[in-house]
Structure 1
Amino acid sequence: MGQGGVALRGRLAAARGAWLVFEDEAGFSMTPPQAKTWSQRGRTPVVRVRGRSRRRISIAALTCYKPGHRSRLIYRPRRDDGNRDGRKSFSWRDYRDLLTAAHQQLGGPIVLVWDNLHVHKAAELREWAASQDWLTIYYLPPYAPDLNPVEGIWSLLRRGWLSNVAFSTPEHLVQRIRRGLRHIQYRSHLIDGCLTVTRLTIRPA
């Protein structure tokens, strides 16, 4: 479908009161991202971290936009239980449940935009999505993270709440992630700013 067709479908969805929702997922480990900080001249700051734990937490997040409404951030965590044979990433059922919860919270139809991750195109998920009259799905072009506002959410987390932190336990990491995401949730201008960076705009139908 050409850009004109996509725009037309988007306008029709907006006329039905749809939310434009972007999705992405990211993994976070016990090793903190590094960021610039202040220190005394000649004394380089050192952050000592525990290197024995390789456990990660994965987050799937949705940024939700609708003209005339406060922008929303919805997310779900998935923790690595350390089981070598256990699944570490989100399954198609996890995405189904996340989208169902988002539909209930937003109270209206959803136009979902996400990347071409293999699980996003799983036959079971596509079959389920086709049966939901409130859900329309579009896929981003390959290798286009700059078009996804959720990337901005990850950047805020890594540059703010997670940078230069010596995590003592996996629970400590989870606590910091939740604190950062809750902060963003209550500040819609941050969510709007993530959309602005992509240079995408949302206009009333």
Structure 2
Amino acid sequence: MDISRHAAKLFLERGVAGTSGDDIAAAAGLSARTIWRYFRSKESCVEPLFAKSMTDFCEQLRAWPKDISIEEQFAKTFALETKTDQEIADGFLIVRLVAKLAEEPELQTSWLMSRHQSEPDLALIIADRLGRSSQDFDIRLCAAAVASAIRVIDETVSFAAIVHKQTFSTAELVEQMAAAIRRISPIPFCDPVASDVFGRSGGSRRS
């Protein structure tokens, strides 16, 4: 993560083309050999930063109680007071990088890979909520759709915030993210779910 943060800052300051593997190594206080031991290219150095944001997001979703809606869970997930200073700083780095994806297409692969890799975790979360198998086709399809919705919202908000200087409240982010997931999900899982007397998850309490 330390290498990833240094790489992100250099890419933002100098651009990808203007940053070398040696530059990243020097900023991190490591040898170039160490950098290439862990990363296949200089662009891939930002993958841990991108991946951790999605891993943390999924970790918070795993704690989603079955008796509250996705909007209620997102209100807790996105609340700044629940974040550490490092998490906030990392989030801002990611927003700035994502806003530059159109200018720095070399970073697209790392960004898209981080979102694609979240699909198994999302499938487990959705399956657990509905009492299903994460390997069911429609659960996997739903997870892929949700990952795409999250990516598009992240890209839209990042570009608007950095390029157009728009500001967003936590409530607005919750509303937009939840609405996008609700629209794109092929199966309902966003509302509170009921359990039977044996503790098994049932259907949504709302249609």
TM-score scaled by structure 2?
0.31
Larger RCO of the pair (alpha carbons < 8 Å, separation 6+): 1
Give 1 or 2: higher helix fraction.
2
Give 1 or 2: higher strand fraction.
1
TM-score scaled by structure 1?
0.31
